[in-house]
Amino acid sequence: MDYGKCAREIYDAVGGKSNLVSAAHCATRLRLVTVDNSNVKMDVLENIDGVKGVFESNGQLQIIIGTGTVNKVYDEFLKVSGLTAASKDDVKAAAAAKQNVFKRMIKTLGDVFVPILPAIVASGLLMGIVEALGKIEALGFAHTDWYQFLDMIANTAFAYLPVIIAISAARVFGGNIFLGAVMGLLMIHSNLTNGWNAADGYKVWYLFGHAFKFGKYTFGQINQLGYQGHVIPVVIAVWLMCLIEKRLHKIVPEMLDLFLVPLITTFLTAMITFMVIGPVFSTAETYLLEGVQKIVQIPFGIGAFIIGLIYPVTVVMGLHHMYNVIEAGMLASKEFHNLNIWMPIASAANFAQFGACLAVGIKTVNAKRRTVAIPSAASASLGITEPAIFGVNLRLMKPFVCAMIGGACGAAFGSIVHLGAKAYGVTGIPGYLTINNIPFYTIMLLIAGGVSFVLTNLVWKDEAEEKKPIELDDLPADAEASLFAPVEGNVVSYKDIPDATFAAGILGEGVGIVPTKGEVVAPFDGVISSVTETQHAVGISGPKGMELLIHVGVDTVQMNGDGFKALVSEGQTVKKGQKLIDFSIDKIKAAGFDTTVAVLVTNSSEYEKFEVKANGNVSLGDEVLVVK
């Protein structure tokens, strides 16, 4: 693979330096933030050799290149673009700055909950294993000390979930993570009645002697009630803590900062949290979870069908991270029996993307599409759907719609049979490790993947995306073919070009054009046969077998590409008038070189008739010569 060529083509397709904000890469993808994604030539970008897929996510343009290759293309991209290396966090920050407030909020929730996935997944997997072993009466495992010990390990992440969330939130909001941990611990302190036992009653502290009523809410009192089973109040409380802390750092003298800032921050946050944030947002969270539960449990799986249908759309919009809040709340709630009933819906939706993408990979005759679709389908089966959605299904649209329907059908079945999981963040095949009913889960995946696979095969037709090559020799033998002016300027004889090789006709006959505008366009429909590394010349094959060389300036190879920008690549099909090269007339002159553009038919001796038609000034598209 030519890493430099791939990088240059990506650079051109995304709109060049003027449309770039920052660039970074991960293990498989080039991650770009552009000024305006509408200026990106997506069709060109997707067909670049080495690019396996392109999609937009969270304000980033993500170009899938592959492990071991992306870093080399990235190095070349930095050279051609002039950008400095950025970290993934830098790119995320730049992308986030472009998003609206709502999307930034959703992204923030993702930033809080995604990093704690390992703890949740580990606990959920262990919980599933321990419960499964405990149910086997023949083993008697449920009555052993090992069971008690492993059960303690499995439950820890959920029992102290507010602490984990508080630490992650403090990191995201830019506060002291240890103060965040204190807030999390405070909200589940042993002096408070455990939140899961709220129905048994709890005591109240009246710090101001009495409480104040505002509608259904009571303020001025502190309920001696822990926030086990709640996640939203913790996030809001730590957000407030970070605001207070950062404000105090600005106004408290440095010599007192170490003592006063943590003291005041902790006290104020605790007061506001237990008097306002806790009661208000725990109630709001309860309503949210109850609402989701009611929707999912609409009879005959109708609610789950609707959610499963729209789930992929929310992934495309980058809104799916908000589901982490719902799932974490379900896992922490005794009312849900610590069971995540949202996971089967997500799993069905994701596995449906696998089915549709696999159908495309099997059915397509496009070799490049197949090489993208098959691995993307495998990824989707494991719950990582972005390559399948953005690289294949959404681009072709019909497979995406088929996957929506398949996911909805699977989700409806999962709801009817009451599927649930012991963790979140794990879907597809890995979901077997956390699901409460493996046989029904298998059926659900078969429904989701099978429906989308069959529908995609039925409704999607493989309309190959490669452009049909232009037939260059389909003119009658006695027909003439024209070459039109590729440059605007003054036409001179090729013998008057101030270069001995050009003037002697060694490279073929043609014309020279002294340019008045710094751009070269295709003189006919054709195929690019070559592009010089210094981007000052191109070769193009055209009608009647014409082999044309367009060389900008004399001896300009010595400029090493400075002042030149090729907009096409070798093997690319072009249309008459399509821009091929941008160049700077001023830079050529400043470097001391002649600006004359040589337009030479390198196989001119093969033609019975070779006639120059133009003389003097020509505009782009004017007829310059004909051959027969």
* pLDDT at position 67: 62
Under the banding of pLDDT at 50, 70 and 90, the label for residue 472 is: very low
The string of pLDDT tens digits covering residues 44-76 is 888 888 887 787 766 678 888 876 688 889 889
* pLDDT at position 475: 45
| Range in 134-138, 151-155, 224-228, 564-568 with the lowest mean pLDDT | 134-138
Q: How far is CA 549 from the centre of its chain?
A: 40
Contacts of 365 (CB under 8 A, 6+ apart): 462, 464
Active-site residue (options: 230, 320, 321, 551): 551
Cα-based distances in Å from 47 to 65, 214, 359, 538: 12, 62, 21, 20
**Whether residue 320 lies in the annotated active site:** no
Residues recorded for the chain: 628
* pLDDT at position 202: 76
The string of pLDDT tens digits covering residues 340-354 is 888 899 999 999 999
Contacts of 440 (CB under 8 A, 6+ apart): 413, 414, 417, 419
At residue 358, does pLDDT exceed 90? yes
Contacts of 370 (CB under 8 A, 6+ apart): 361, 364
**Phi and psi torsions of 226, nearest 5°:** -75, 165
Which of these, 335, 344, 340, lies nearest to 308 by C-alpha position?
Answer: 344
How many other CB atoms are there within 10 angstroms of residue 389's CB atom? Answer: 25
| Range in 191-205, 315-329, 562-576 with the lowest mean pLDDT | 315-329
Mean pLDDT within 77-87: 79
DSSP strand pairing (60-64 vs 53-57): antiparallel
Active-site residue (options: 26, 189, 242, 402): 26
> Considering the domain 481-627 in this protein, what is its CATH number?
2.70.70.10
Question: Both tokens of residue 621?
Answer: 């598209």
* pLDDT at position 111: 76
Mean pLDDT within 128-145: 79
**Phi and psi torsions of 580, nearest 5°:** -110, -40
Mean pLDDT within 20-43: 81
* pLDDT at position 151: 85
Return d(Cα 204, Cα 364) in angstroms, integer: 67
Q: Are 619 and 516 in contact (CB under 8 A)?
A: no
**Whether residue 551 lies in the annotated active site:** yes
Return d(Cα 419, Cα 428) in angstroms, integer: 14
At residue 509, does pLDDT exceed 60? yes
* pLDDT at position 470: 40
Question: Both tokens of residue 451?
Answer: 């429906």
Architecture of domain 3-98: 2-Layer Sandwich (3.30)
Return d(Cα 145, Cα 152) in angstroms, integer: 11
Domain locations along the chain: 3-98, 160-296, 299-459, 481-627
At residue 370, does pLDDT exceed 90? no
Which range, 24-38, 231-245, 305-319, has the best average confidence (pLDDT)? Answer: 231-245
Q: Are 355 and 449 in contact (CB under 8 A)?
A: yes
Q: Where are the alpha helices (DSSP H) in 321-392?
A: 323-332, 343-363, 367-381, 386-388
